[in-house]
Structure 1
Amino acid sequence: MKIVAMVGSNRSESYNMKLVKFMQSRYAGKADIEILPIDQLPFYNQDDELNPPEIVKEIRAKIKASDGILFATPEYNASISAVLKNAIDWFSRVETVMVNKPAMIVGASMGAMGTVKAQMQLRQILNAPGVGTLTLPGNEVFVGSVQNKMDDEGNLTDESTVQFIDSVISNFINWTGKMEA
């Protein structure tokens, strides 16, 4: 299964990037997770959407060819980041490559509630016309107090969190397979 990941943080020590890289490694036998370079996208501009920069075309093609999308969102002021919103704006216009694409959302933060508010907002955005992803229902991944659950190399060390993400990945793979059938 080919999954593309949009990580909504461009911070060098991003917990969300570390979480996706952990998932990329842990589930390598089940899913090929490619992290898209959305931090390299220019700001969306409707004037450029019919003749977008090469990076937009490249990422758009990868999303189109994928079996699903993994969104990893930090929470900035109770919302998603500008980096993630910008990417969604680029890929929900002209060639709407996210429509009906299976999607899964994860988020990690140092706060106790994880990224609850950002994920609620992201689910609303993903349901908008032109975006229209199909998000895995009932499998929310909020990794709160992540600094206590991850080692310096970015490995999740909290066994209950790892087991939960194992079950969600399994559910996502099964759900996506049923949608393709």
Structure 2
Amino acid sequence: MKHLVAIVGTNSKLSTNRQLLEYMKEHFKQQAEIELIEIKGIPIFKKSAGMQVPEETRKIAAKIEQSDGVIIGTPEYDHAVPAALLSLLAWLSYGQHPLVDKPVMITGASFGTLGSSRAQAQLRQVLDSPEIKARIMPSSEFLLDHSLEAFQDKEHLVNKELADQLDGLFKDFIEFIDISSQLGNAHTANKQQAKDFSWESSDKKER
């Protein structure tokens, strides 16, 4: 059975993105063990002279390293990824790089009709950056709109079409993890490139 970590991409106490990940944890428990990770209390990213990172982010990095894959549930604030989630990703690409070549599935829920579509597109760009280099499952956008009315209870989505879509995407993600495990020939080099990358040195070269 696969072990996955699911990052709740918000520090909000009441979040339908958290509710969606909790639904997935219960609904897919026969296919994978899903551990939810909260980002509440993670300090805003700030560079330090010794590249010191908060202990909380070290623990999250270790869990990601040990996992078979990662699910990220992102809300959309002002057509963008929440600052708290971006801050976590910055910490996870600063002296530690657990997401390099790690299979990632993105989900998103919103109160309105868009289902965090713009935030998901932005998140894909961030995860594909030179310092992160995650392996994002292609063509896998899951958008849960009108999320306040989306759940009948913790174990049921009201919209059967969306529930069936999520079932299919999750099955694809499990297969994507298996495929990704065969694509590790460049992993050591990718990891080293992520560690060596510096926007500052790139800027100097361009000048």
TM-score range, shorter chain: over 0.9
Give the Cα separation in 2 of the matches to 1:42 and 1:146: 28
Give the Cα separation in 2 of the matches to 1:70 and 1:158: 21
Give the Cα separation in 2 of the matches to 1:78 and 1:86: 17
Paired residues for 1:24-35 under 5 Å? 24-35=25-36
Q: CA RMSD in A?
A: 1.5
Q: Which moved more, 1:16-25 or 1:135-144?
A: 135-144
Residue matched to 2:192: none
Residue matched to 1:118: 119
Residue matched to 2:164: 163
Distance 1:16 1:101, change over 3 A: same
Normalization by structure 1: what TM-score?
A: 0.94
Matched, 1:10 2:2: no
Give the Cα separation in 2 of the matches to 1:37 and 1:148: 23
Residue matched to 2:68: 67
Give the Cα separation in 1 of the matches to 2:50 and 2:142: 33
- What letter corresponds to residue 125 of structure 1 in structure 2? V
Gaps (5+ residues) in structure 1? none
Displacement, 1:100? 0.7
Give the Cα separation in 2 of the matches to 1:48 and 1:31: 40
Give the Cα separation in 2 of the matches to 1:25 and 1:125: 29
Q: Which moved more, 1:119-128 or 1:29-38?
A: 29-38
Query: Does structure 2 conserve the Cα–Cα contact (< 8 Å) formed by 1:49 and 1:90?
Result: no
Give the Cα separation in 2 of the matches to 1:118 and 1:83: 13
Displacement, 1:175? 1.1
Q: Which moved more, 1:159-168 or 1:47-56?
A: 47-56
Normalization by structure 2: what TM-score?
A: 0.83
Q: How many residues align?
A: 181
Give the Cα separation in 1 of the matches to 2:50 and 2:119: 26
- What letter corresponds to residue 80 of structure 2 in structure 1? S
Distance 1:130 1:44, change over 3 A: same
Residue matched to 1:128: 129
Query: Does structure 1 conserve the Cα–Cα contact (< 8 Å) formed by 2:65 and 2:99?
Result: yes
Distance 1:133 1:154, change over 3 A: same
Query: Could you report, residue by residue, the CA deviation over 1:10-51 in whole angstroms, capped at 9, with x for unpaired residues?
Result: 222200000000000011111111111222211222117633
The structure with the largest alpha-carbon Rg is 2
